[in-house]
């Protein structure tokens, strides 16, 4: 039972149990990806997405002066499509291929099984936490990873702060508010609390960000993070839920629908800056175009019949067009402050 009758739990606890409960959690028991699932991610729209990430990886590895050992880690690899294509691409570049130690951090036993059917198991290792990573320069890849972290929400009413909870009453879930001390929110936002009347924050995501930041700071490397989100403006309620490619209330079908939120990239950038790392941000459309996705599409479609060529460019349009994923999805690159690498962000 997610919540007992006439009981309540905090919003982030409700999301965590819905998504990651060891017996019933959405990501634990279900493959949500693809047409038969609930949503489709960029690597499953076009193989060229993963090819562009591969080009970026090679270039960043060269910028790091070609370390003989480098960890390439995907955080939450979904159905394994992106890592599978990256490995296939890097097989054509012997120097980095010999240097790379491919790892996937994944919670879901079901998704690990699916990933192992798609990826060369001899090439990849699976880990459950960052402590298992060998000490070496490391590149973290996070495509639609951080949006699935549970969030807390706070709102101000009559000069008092309230935290959102979820209660179970009369056989249905409902949102309720519980008064809290402003000191709890100040712990998360510091002085920035004065600018907000509504706060959306993920303590678990920020804890993980700090673990990654410390690892990069000590071992060198970086993080490439791709997700939907915003870079400016005040905080807002971005909580959303998807089932079978349609938006529903997050209360409607827990355990069986995806619950996510938009990433506040300004907050992430600030958190990494607190660990003495610098961040570059651009849109997914701009990033992929600057990496050459359109030129690559022209090359591979040159001698194809019209219908196949049209399909390639239709898929790319979904990735780069402002009306689709091109603007809503942002790309954040994090590295040590002395690093001057900016491919895809110029």
CB-CB neighbours of 254 under 10 Å: 22
Q: What pLDDT score does 229 carry?
A: 97
Q: Using DSSP bridges, classify how beta strands 329-336 and 277-283 pair: parallel, antiparallel or unpaired.
A: antiparallel
**Averaged pLDDT, 161-168:** 95
Q: Which residue has the higher pLDDT, 252 or 146?
A: 146
pLDDT of amino acid 269: 96
Mean of the pLDDT values across residues 180-190? Answer: 87
Question: What integer pLDDT is reported at residue 187 of this predicted model?
Answer: 84
Write down the number of H helices and E strands in the chain.
13, 16
Q: What is the pLDDT averaged over residues 307-318?
A: 95
Q: How far apart are CA 317 and CA 315, in angstroms?
A: 5
- pLDDT score of 38 more than 80: no
Token pair for 346: 């110029």
User: Given this model, what pLDDT does residue 39 score?
Assistant: 80
What average pLDDT does the segment 196-218 reach?
Answer: 96
Across the range 16-26, mean pLDDT stands at 93
Confidence of residue 188 (pLDDT cuts 50, 70, 90): confident
CA distance 87 to 43: 13
Query: Is 113 in contact with 74 (CB distance < 8 Å)?
Result: no
Long-range contacts of 190-197 (CB under 8 A, 24+ apart): 195/234, 196/156, 196/234, 196/235, 197/155, 197/156, 197/234
User: What integer is the mean pLDDT of 224-251?
Assistant: 93
**Which of the two residues, 252 and 194, has the higher pLDDT score?**
252
User: In Å, what is the CA distance from 163 to each residue of 32, 183, 184, 187, 338?
Assistant: 30, 12, 10, 14, 40
Predicted pLDDT at 192: 75
31 — pLDDT class (breaks 50, 70, 90): confident
Q: How crowded is residue 81: how many other Cβ atoms within 10 Å of its Cβ?
A: 24
Q: With 90 as the cut, is the pLDDT of residue 195 above it?
A: no
What's the rounded Cα separation, in Å, for the pair 29 and 280?
A: 36
What band does 170 get if pLDDT is binned at 50, 70 and 90?
Answer: confident
pLDDT at 70: 98
Q: Which of 2-6, 113-117, 142-146, 152-156 is predicted with the least confidence, judged by mean pLDDT?
A: 2-6
Selection from 56, 118, 54, 116 nearest residue 84 by Cα: 118
> b/e per residue, 126-164, with b = 16+ CB within 10 A?
eeeebeebeeebbbbbbbbbbbbbbbbbbbeeeeebbbb
Q: What pLDDT was estimated at residue 1? A: 62
- Residue 184 in this model has a pLDDT that exceeds 70: yes
Phi, then psi, of 246 in degrees rounded to 5: -130, 145
Please give the pLDDT value at position 186: 87
Domains in the chain, CATH or no CATH each: 8-333 (3.40.50.12710)
Torsion, Cα of 325, 247, 209, 133 (10° steps): -90
pLDDT reading at 5 higher than 80: no
Number of residues that make up the chain: 346
Angstrom distance (rounded) from CA 286 to CA 290: 6
The percentage of residues in the chain with a pLDDT greater than 90, rounded to a whole number, is 82
Mean pLDDT for 62-77 is: 97
pLDDT digits (tens, 9 = 90+) for 275-307: 999 999 999 999 999 999 999 999 999 889 999
What confidence category does residue 2 fall into, taking pLDDT thresholds of 50, 70 and 90?
Answer: confident
The confidence score (pLDDT) of residue 107 equals: 92
Q: Is the dihedral of CA 70, 75, 80, 86 positive or negative?
A: negative
Distance CA 244, CA 255 (A): 13
Q: CA distances (Å), 282 to each of 132, 176, 263, 314, in order?
A: 31, 37, 14, 22
Residue 210 is predicted with a pLDDT of 96
Looking at residue 343, its pLDDT comes to 97
CA gap 326, 284 in Å, rounded:
5
CA distances in angstroms from 273 to 231, 232, 266, listed in the order given: 15, 17, 11
- CA nearest to 279, candidates 203, 201, 219, 341: 341
Other CB atoms within a 10 A radius of the CB of residue 63 amount to: 15
Query: How many CA within 13 A on the CB side of residue 1?
Result: 12
Least Cα distance to 177 among 198, 205, 148 occurs for 198
Q: Average pLDDT, stretch 155-164?
A: 94
């Amino acid at each position: 039972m997610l919540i007992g009758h006439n009981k309540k739990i905090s919003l982030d606890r409700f999301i965590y149990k819905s998504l990651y409960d060891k017996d019933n959690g959405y990501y634990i028991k279900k493959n949500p990806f693809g047409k038969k699932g609930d949503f489709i991610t960029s690597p499953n729209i076009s193989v060229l997405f993963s090819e562009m990430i591969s080009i970026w990886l090679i270039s960043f590895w060269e910028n790091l002066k070609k370390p003989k050992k480098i960890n390439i880690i995907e955080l939450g690899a979904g159905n394994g499509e992106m890592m599978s294509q990256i490995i296939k691409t890097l097989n054509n570049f012997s120097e980095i291929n010999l240097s790379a130690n491919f790892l996937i951090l994944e919670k879901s036993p079901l998704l690990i099984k699916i990933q192992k059917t798609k990826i060369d198991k001899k090439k990849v290792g699976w880990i459950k936490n960052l402590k298992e990573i060998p000490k070496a320069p490391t590149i973290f890849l996070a495509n639609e990873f951080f949006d699935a972290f549970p969030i807390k929400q706070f709102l101000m009413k009559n000069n008092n702060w309230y935290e959102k909870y979820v209660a179970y009453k009369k056989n249905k879930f409902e949102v309720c508010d519980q008064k809290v001390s402003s000191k709890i929110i100040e712990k998360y936002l510091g002085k920035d609390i004065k600018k907000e009347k509504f706060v959306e924050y993920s303590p678990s995501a920020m804890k993980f960000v700090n673990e990654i930041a410390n690892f990069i700071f000590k071992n060198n490397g970086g993080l490439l993070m791709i997700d939907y989100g915003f870079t400016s403006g005040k905080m807002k309620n971005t909580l959303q839920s998807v089932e079978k490619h349609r938006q529903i209330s997050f209360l409607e079908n827990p355990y069986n629908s995806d619950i996510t939120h938009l990433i506040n990239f300004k907050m992430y950038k600030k958190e990494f800056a607190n660990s003495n790392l610098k961040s570059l941000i651009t849109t997914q459309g701009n990033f992929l175009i600057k990496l050459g996705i359109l030129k690559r599409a022209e090359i591979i479609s040159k001698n194809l019949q019209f219908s196949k060529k049209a399909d390639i460019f239709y898929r790319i349009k979904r990735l780069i067009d402002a009306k689709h994923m091109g603007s809503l999805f942002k790309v954040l690159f994090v590295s040590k402050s002395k690093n001057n690498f900016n491919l895809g962000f110029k």
